[in-house]
Amino acid sequence: MLKKITKFIWKLLIVITFLTAFALVFPKFLFWMFAQPRTYTLETVESTRVAIVFGAGLLRDGSAGPVLSDRVQTAVALYQQGKVEKLLMSGDNSLIEYNEPEAMRQYALEHGVPDEDIILDYAGRRTYDTCYRAKHIFQVDKAILVTQEFHMPRALLLCNWFDIDANGVVANNRYFLKRFQAFWAFRELFATFQAMWDVLITKPVPILGEVEPIN
């Protein structure tokens, strides 16, 4: 009897493991397939009015960390090459002492982007929130998304889901970040599953406010 129970438990664990792996990997594959034809380089991407730059971690002094500065650096290059006219910088500012959009703004100012061409979204706590607010608050219909390769599929699918005609340019200036690709890829499996769950099941509404069209 005990042997049969043990055998049943092992079979059950195998099935659960398989289903969990499928639930994590399949959405990631779908997102990756969606992103491939929509991902470009600085040289090949079509010009549009707005680039959306996604927030990432800060250093202890409040300045942009390596992942974030990599994104802003790429966005600045898009601006300087005339590919975009405005930079929508969206990140987390849920705490007074933690201000991703301002750190992004400071980095862009230091690299020659005029302040009037920088728009800050202080409520972009998640990729979902950034894309949702870009459409409903900032009235963005078309944009170039700027983020790293590991994050691009999720960003592209979410923004296009919210009716933003979005293409992406990968931020790949800091090659030492490639050492952490395995970590980012593993983390993104769960984030991608959450994104699919959000758009299909829970459909959360992020923090909103007055409409601020990017004119």
- In this prediction, the residues of the chain whose per-residue pLDDT falls under 70 are 1-26, 174-184
Q: Note the pLDDT of residue 5.
A: 65
pLDDT at 6: 66
107-142 per-residue burial string, b: 16 or more CB within 10 A, e: under 16: bbeeeebeeeebbbbbbbbbbbbbbbbbbbbbebee
Distance of CA 86 to the CA centre of its chain: 18
The per-residue pLDDT for 34 is: 86
DSSP class of 154: H
Angle subtended at Cα 167 by Cα 44 and Cα 140, rounded to the nearest 5 degrees = 125
Residue carrying the six token digits 């790429």: 74
Q: What is the pTM of this model?
A: 0.86
Token pair for 138: 């900032």
Question: How many Cα atoms occupy the beta-carbon half-sphere of 32 within 13 Å?
Answer: 11
Q: What ranges in 41-99 are assigned the alpha helix state H?
A: 66-80
Domains observed in the chain: 25-37+46-202 (3.40.50.620)
